Amino acid sequence: MTGRTLHWLRDAGFVVTKRDGCSVTGELLIAVNAKGTAWLSELGEPLPGEKTHARHWLRHAYSYRTVCDSVFVALTIQSPELAPWSELEVRANMAPLHSITYHFEDQEVGKVPDLLVETPGGLE
């Protein structure tokens, strides 16, 4: 059923796909595009946080990026009280933390979190 649904969504132009060539299994990555986002909104099922950028998640389809985005969506839907921020939101200064500073080879370096979650114990 999942395969038929994904085939239908792709044929209807609601999703874009990309084969992860860096993956051992060569997984097929699928993301909702702008047309799909509009369709979901019409059905009363908008993307978490009214996002419209799911199609951009495939541009840099590294396995860790796919995992972080999957965790972001799952947390947003299942545990909204955790208030997660995606890397795109962190880069857009929508999160309370914009980068993590550390030292590497005697240089101060800033790392933008791939995913930021506010838990009762603080930011993770």
Tell me the CA distances in angstroms from 64 to 30, 31, 50, 115, one per residue in order.
15, 15, 23, 11
Judged on CB neighbours under 10 Å (0-12, 13-18, 19+), 122 is: exposed
- Report if residue 31 sits inside a domain: yes
Instruction: Tell me, rounded to whole angstroms, the distance of Cα 66 from its chain centroid.
Output: 7
- Report if residue 51 sits inside a domain: yes
- Report if residue 33 sits inside a domain: yes
- Report if residue 11 sits inside a domain: yes
How are beta strands 115-116 and 107-111 bridged, if at all?
unpaired
Residue range of the domain that includes 9 = 1-61
Model confidence pLDDT, tens digit, residues 90-116: 887 888 888 888 888 888 988 888 888
* pTM (predicted TM-score): 0.46
Angle at 108 between CA 103 and CA 109, to 5 degrees: 90
Model confidence pLDDT, tens digit, residues 2-57: 788 888 988 998 887 777 666 566 677 777 777 887 887 888 876 665 555 555 54
Model confidence pLDDT, tens digit, residues 35-45: 887 887 888 87
Task: Count up the domains in the chain and report the number.
Answer: 1
